[in-house]
Amino acid sequence: MNENVINDALLSRQPVLDPNNELVGYELKLQSVADAALPPAYDASQAAALICAAYADLGINSALGKNIAFLRIDPGFIHDDAIEVLPPDAVVLELVLDAAPDERTLQRCRILRERRYPLALGNYTGLDERSRPLLTLLDVIKIDVRQHGDDGLAELAGPLARLPLKLLAKGVESRETMERCKKIGFQLFQGNYFARPEIVSGRRLLASQMSLIQLINLASRDTDTAKIEEGFKHEPALAVNLLRIVNSVGYGLNRRVSSLRHAITLLGRRQLQRWLQLLLMTPAGGTPDASRSPLLQIAALRGRMMEMLIQQGYPRDGKLADQAFITGIMSMMPAALGLPMNEIFEQITLETSVMDALSSHAGALGKTLALLECFDADDKQGCLRVLGELPATNLSLNTLNACLVESLRWVNGSAAGD
């Protein structure tokens, strides 16, 4: 395996959600920056080998936590023993077939199933010689919903309804599409529809959101701890969560924390502000668990990645790194609150440099945000362009991939005070 290919590739991830809009996992791919950068003998089979190598080399398994990695496996690579280095409880192997599987491939699928590897079939277009021999071996069937109307989707899904497998809708880019697929019988949904903001100027926020905003503003200003404590006293659920977080982290204490004021002091204004802003990303009735909430996970990932990238480019500027984390979280706030950014600025106290970054991609914070927006959109050329515009010269695609994996590990396994 050519290590340079891994270093020059972009780690692409697309969320896979369940019917409750909770995160199940990610489809992972490594995309070369340009076909010319690939070795002459590079083919789809080597592409599958590449993502498996990266899965191990980058430590993706531990970084994903409870989330599953959906990995595309070419027929040529399915026979490679390297597949069995992957943990069967943490991956779904997606078969990409252009023709009917031969008996050797079918036998290999049976062996993988016996070894508890879940199998999926990509780009399903109906019962034919390609799909029929595999039906009893599959756990997931993936259908690209962009290629079919509602009637066509219903016809494809109908014959599969009684089989013990799940239907995955690929290319879901709106909530309306997700709801239509859900009614047809799909149980998994791949796409970024949950992060598409439904902006309504002047939208009234929920009382719980207003309470969080008030606490965020108190934490970001030079406010007396007693006033912050008083604010928490009016929000019993938040107060309990605050005590639980500080107690679970421990902070090296020999006794449990029982006072709100003590908990606020121990957590610190910086971490308190981060925690409250992440809570604001949680949809009404949704889970505050970043490992399950896709929007919350993207916000936390973007914040952490921005912080890490700024730390690498400006290692002596701790304040800028703190602002980077806030900028990353706030960039997802329109999707969470359904408000335009200018109205969010009116309600949440932010530093000028953060607002400039969010409104016009100005400064180092704005350029880093633009980089991560390209990264989240799988825009390889956009990433290269913005990397070339950043004043820091020690950043690369490999840096982005490594920051993503480390940020995933932080989101899925860290406590609030990391």
pLDDT tens for each residue of 9-53: 788 888 999 998 889 999 988 776 554 444 444 455 566 666 777
Query: Could you read off the pLDDT of 252-297 as tens digits, one per residue?
Result: 555 566 678 888 888 888 889 888 888 888 765 555 666 678 888 8
Percent of the chain at pLDDT > 90 equals: 36
Tokens representing residue 176 in the block = 């309306």
Query: Could you read off the pLDDT of 125-157 as tens digits, one per residue?
Result: 898 898 999 999 999 999 999 988 888 899 998
Q: Where are the alpha helices (DSSP H) in 115-206?
A: 150-157, 175-184
Position 108 scores a pLDDT of 94
Q: Where are the alpha helices (DSSP H) in 85-166?
A: 103-114, 150-157
Position 16 scores a pLDDT of 94
Position 288 scores a pLDDT of 60
* pLDDT of residue 200 exceeding 90: no
* pLDDT of residue 416 exceeding 60: no
Distance CA(404)–CA(55), nearest Å, equals 12
Average pLDDT value over all residues in the chain: 84
- Which has the closest alpha carbon to 187: 207, 159, 166, 203? 166
Distance CA(111)–CA(119), nearest Å, equals 11
Domains observed in the chain: 3-194 (3.20.20.450), 207-413 (1.10.3210)
